[in-house]
Amino acid sequence: MRRPLSDKDGEVRELTAEDMRLFKPIAEVDPGMVEAMKDFRRKVGRPKAVAPKVHVGFRLSADIVASIKASGRGYNARVDQALREAGFGAKALKIAKAAVKTTQGRRQSEAKRAVNGPRRRGWAETR
């Protein structure tokens, strides 16, 4: 006969190897608990940023870096702001993508002409 895990006062006795063998996985006993733990783990920690920052590594002149760092704490935000004021950022990216798309369209047309030969005239254009 199996001994109860707790006494009449609610004190849990020391568990034995036999007790451990009788335990079932939580997924079998309460599948909802597994899902709840997954949701809980997703919510723990710092909330995701709407526009997360990206780490970029590139080389700058030593005097530039020294003057930026000498400006004090928060220099990353000031560099970000200075780049936006200089014309970089979302608006500039949109313009640059449009320019690249136009250039790629031209390149694709040139590539098609190189493969297919010059454009053939239709019946109406030959007259």
Residue 62 lies in a domain: yes
Residue 1 has pLDDT above 80, yes or no: no
pLDDT at residue number 32 = 92
Residue 106 lies in a domain: yes
Residue 33 lies in a domain: no
pLDDT digits (tens, 9 = 90+) for 84-104: 888 887 777 777 777 777 666
Residue 42 lies in a domain: no
Q: Are residues 63 and 79 in the same domain?
A: yes
pLDDT at residue number 86 = 86
Host domain of residue 108: 89-120
Residue 71 lies in a domain: yes
pLDDT digits (tens, 9 = 90+) for 28-78: 999 999 989 888 877 777 777 888 888 888 898 999 999 989 989 989 889
How far, CA to CA in Å, does 41 sit from each of 32, 45, 48, 122?
Answer: 14, 8, 14, 65
Measure the CA–CA gap between 64 and 62, rounded to whole angstroms: 5
Measure the CA–CA gap between 101 and 53, rounded to whole angstroms: 26
pLDDT at residue number 112 = 63
pLDDT at residue number 46 = 79
Residue 84 lies in a domain: yes
pLDDT at residue number 61 = 93
pLDDT at residue number 42 = 75
Q: Are residues 97 and 79 in the same domain?
A: no
pLDDT at residue number 5 = 85
The domain total for the chain is: 2
pTM: 0.39
Residue 109 lies in a domain: yes
Q: Are residues 115 and 100 in the same domain?
A: yes
Residue 13 lies in a domain: no
